[in-house]
């Protein structure tokens, strides 16, 4: 029932990585805890590297399977759900992480399985 293909996901990856690096500054994250800003920027850098290394048509080096990429995306969403509680994020800091987590979970859950190419 999913509609997010590997190709669509690949087109989403680069803008999402950049947004994770830029939005914390634009939204002024870090009032409740400076880690609210740092965690997002670090995750954005990691997401950019993951995208570059993923085996999809926009991956530049293609050494990480798309399945592993989806697992990492899911794990990031779980961390983003837990982080506000564990690190004491409040207000916009917490809402930012919960919205990002919900969005990532939605995209991963709407993944359209595609036949494996040998």
**Which residue blocks in the chain are alpha helix, DSSP H?**
6-27, 35-53, 66-87, 92-109
Residue 109: its pLDDT value, please? Answer: 94
Residue 78: its pLDDT value, please? Answer: 98
**Which regions of the chain are under pLDDT 50?**
none
Residue 118: its pLDDT value, please? Answer: 52
Round to whole Å and give the CA distance between 3 and 53. Answer: 23
| pTM value > 0.85 | yes
Residue 113: its pLDDT value, please? Answer: 81
Residue 1: its pLDDT value, please? Answer: 61
């Amino acid at each position: 029932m999913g509609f997010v293909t590997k190709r669509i996901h690949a087109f989403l990856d680069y803008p999402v990585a950049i947004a994770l690096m830029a939005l914390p500054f634009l939204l002024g994250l870090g009032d409740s805890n400076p880690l609210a800003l740092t965690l997002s920027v670090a995750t954005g850098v990691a997401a950019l590297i993951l995208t570059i290394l993923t085996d999809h048509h926009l991956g530049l080096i293609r050494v990480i399977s798309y399945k592993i990429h989806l697992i990492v995306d899911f794990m990031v969403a779980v961390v983003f759900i837990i982080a506000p509680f564990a690190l004491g994020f409040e207000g916009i800091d917490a809402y930012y992480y919960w919205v990002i987590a919900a969005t990532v979970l939605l995209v991963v859950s709407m993944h359209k399985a595609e036949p494996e190419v040998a």
